[in-house]
Amino acid sequence: MYVAINKKFIIVCLIFMLIISAVFALPSAIVSTPNYAYTIVIDAGHGGIDGGAVGKTTGKDENSLNLEYAITLKNILEKFNFKVVMTRNNLNGLYNSFSVNKKKDDMQKREEIIKSSNADLVVSIHMNSHSLRSYSGAQVFYKTNCESSEKLASSIQQVFLQTLPNARQTALVGDYYILNCSEITSVIVECGYLSNANDEALLIKPEYRDLVCYSIFVGILQYLSL
């Protein structure tokens, strides 16, 4: 019992410190105007028939976890006067039910939302999986040959290293549709591995979800302050 309480206390303290850091890191443009200074697209990966990775112990799928994390991040950003555009707000996919290639249709719908958003940044939320169950930790991916995408990914990854257990050491380049579908600075955040029992146990906890999302938030603020 003491160990469990102690761990929860540490997480709460870390979240508190992140909030304080975030306030001091806020760019003057956000603080000085009542209007939205930045627009961010939050993309909850997968949805509908595409459930994504599945936890080996709990059976919790990536679809639902991605949405939970995306909504949490949305709420945090909106508290600090960011405009947030969500690619999806429920467990359904974005594809037409009569579409022959639902995955392609789904991704094209996300692209349309992103391109019409006039956003400054895109953050796509995912949960990772690997055949080797020893793989663990949060990792951020950025667009090939895109300096701004790399800087945003590196900023978030550096915060992860300070706040999350077993975070991967560096952000990595990734050749993914959601990164390449627009000219907007975009990153993919893999919050942890559902194929790893320890990561899975953490990822389903609300307090850990808060910690991950506040970490992403602070990483975004640090990037915008550069």
Contact predicate 203/139, CB 8 Å: no
Give the integer Cα–Cα distance in Å for 198 and 161: 17
Q: What is the longest distance spanned by two Cα atoms in the chain? A: 54
| 183 band by pLDDT with thresholds 50, 70 and 90 | very high
Q: What is the pLDDT of residue 31?
A: 47
- Residue 28: count other Cβ atoms within 10 Å of its Cβ: 9
Residues 6+ apart with CB under 8 A from 120: 38, 39, 40, 184, 185
| 204 band by pLDDT with thresholds 50, 70 and 90 | very high
Q: Average of pLDDT values for 79-97?
A: 95
pLDDT of 35 higher than 60: no
Query: Which sequence spans correspond to the domains of the chain?
Result: 2-225
Q: Average of pLDDT values for 108-127?
A: 98
Phi-psi region of 155 (alpha: psi -120 to 50; beta: other; left: phi over 0): alpha
pLDDT of 164 higher than 60: yes
pLDDT digits (tens, 9 = 90+) for 7-16: 554 555 555 5
SS3 label, residue 105: helix
Global pTM value: 0.86
pLDDT of 52 higher than 70: yes
Q: What is the pLDDT of residue 33?
A: 40
Give the integer Cα–Cα distance in Å for 173 and 15: 28
Contact predicate 143/132, CB 8 Å: no
pLDDT of 174 higher than 90: yes
Classify domain 2-225 by CATH number: 3.40.630.40
**Helix or strand run (H / E) with residue 53:** none
Q: Average of pLDDT values for 167-174?
A: 97
161 burial type by CB count under 10 A (0-12 exposed, 13-18 middle, 19+ buried)? middle
Q: Average of pLDDT values for 205-219?
A: 97
Q: What is the pLDDT of residue 163?
A: 95
Q: What is the pLDDT of residue 37?
A: 83
pLDDT of 159 higher than 60: yes
Q: Average of pLDDT values for 200-210?
A: 97
Give the integer Cα–Cα distance in Å for 109 and 55: 27
Give the integer Cα–Cα distance in Å for 84 and 96: 24
pLDDT of 178 higher than 90: yes
